[in-house]
């Protein structure tokens, strides 16, 4: 969990058989991975992943310069239950790392979807430079989320003015929301005000919610997907005004067939949502 400029530490316990350790060192590593292709693909020895952040810590035997902070209640219980061959660890990630996000795969795609993953891995080796086979390590996928305060604040506001031929006055359209932060599944109230000083009649009002995803690897790519669109039959006569509040609710269930949508990173067998905004 990231809150403003601080990130909660990753606390855990590793259990290892001393016969398996055999004088080697045990490490715990957390990696922020940007995955843009399947692990099964291999082109001239290159994999379709980029490690954005790596932090490793030696937990057994403990380094003399390593400072272990106070144990959490869960760590104390696990150490008491697992015995002398269990070792606690605490990893502190830096702030401003991306949150866990996946790009919704297509029906023919297989393997892990593209996106941001956080992996915690434990392994035994002589040193960190030693290449460790995947089968000789224990890996867990964790999820990083960002907390946003629900304190009331000014909501977004926009206005557009359009002139028409043979109309002395323009058409003015304003739209605003009560606040800028909303929770998943919550209806978003959009206030619309129209001042129609033209000779034209407005037949309907269309409201759309767009999701914009910035993918930064070797260059900046921007993808925009429509996650909600609805037309409201609300005629506005010429030389008249209109004001009304509309409720819109973008949901993943209504967009599940769209490929490339950004989703909140999910764990195994767990439902997810449209990706939260990164603050």
d(CA 124, CA 157): 55
- Give Cβ neighbours of residue 278 (< 8 Å, ≥ 6 apart): 98, 99, 146
Record the pTM: 0.75
Q: pLDDT exceeding 90 applies to what percent of the chain?
A: 25
- Tens of pLDDT, residue by residue over 61-118, are 877 777 777 888 999 999 999 988 898 998 888 888 888 888 877 666 666 777 888 9
- Tens of pLDDT, residue by residue over 135-192, are 788 888 888 888 777 676 788 999 999 988 878 889 999 999 988 888 888 899 999 9
- Give Cβ neighbours of residue 76 (< 8 Å, ≥ 6 apart): none
**Predicted pLDDT at 60:** 82
Contact by Cβ (8 Å): 251, 264: no
Start-to-end Cα distance in the chain: 13
């Amino acid at each position: 969990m990231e809150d403003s400029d601080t990130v909660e530490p990753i606390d855990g316990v590793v259990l290892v058989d001393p016969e398996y350790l055999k004088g080697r060192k045990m490490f715990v590593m957390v990696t922020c991975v940007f995955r843009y292709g399947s692990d099964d693909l291999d082109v001239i020895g290159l994999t379709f992943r980029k490690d954005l952040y790596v932090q490793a810590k030696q937990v057994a035997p403990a380094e003399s310069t390593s400072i272990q902070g106070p144990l959490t209640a869960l760590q104390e219980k696990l150490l008491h239950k697992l015995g002398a061959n269990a070792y606690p660890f605490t990893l502190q990630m830096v702030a401003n790392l991306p949150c866990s996000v996946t790009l919704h795969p297509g029906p023919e795609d297989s393997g892990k979807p593209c996106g941001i993953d956080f992996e915690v891995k434990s392994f035994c080796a002589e040193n960190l430079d030693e290449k460790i086979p995947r089968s000789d390590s224990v890996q867990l996928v964790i999820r990083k989320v960002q907390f946003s305060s629900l304190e009331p604040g000014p909501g977004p506001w926009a206005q557009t003015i359009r002139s028409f031929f043979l109309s002395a006055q323009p058409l003015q359209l304003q739209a605003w929301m009560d606040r800028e932060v909303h929770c998943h599944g919550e209806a978003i109230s959009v206030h619309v005000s129209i001042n129609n000083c033209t000779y034209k009649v407005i037949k309907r009002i269309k409201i759309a919610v767009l999701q914009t995803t910035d993918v930064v690897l070797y260059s900046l790519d921007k993808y925009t997907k429509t996650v909600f669109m609805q037309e409201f039959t609300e005629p506005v006569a010429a030389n008249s005004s209109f004001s009304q509040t509309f409720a819109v609710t973008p949901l993943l269930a209504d967009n599940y067939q769209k490929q490339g949508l950004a989703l909140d990173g999910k764990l195994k067998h767990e439902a997810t949502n449209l990706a939260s905004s990164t603050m």
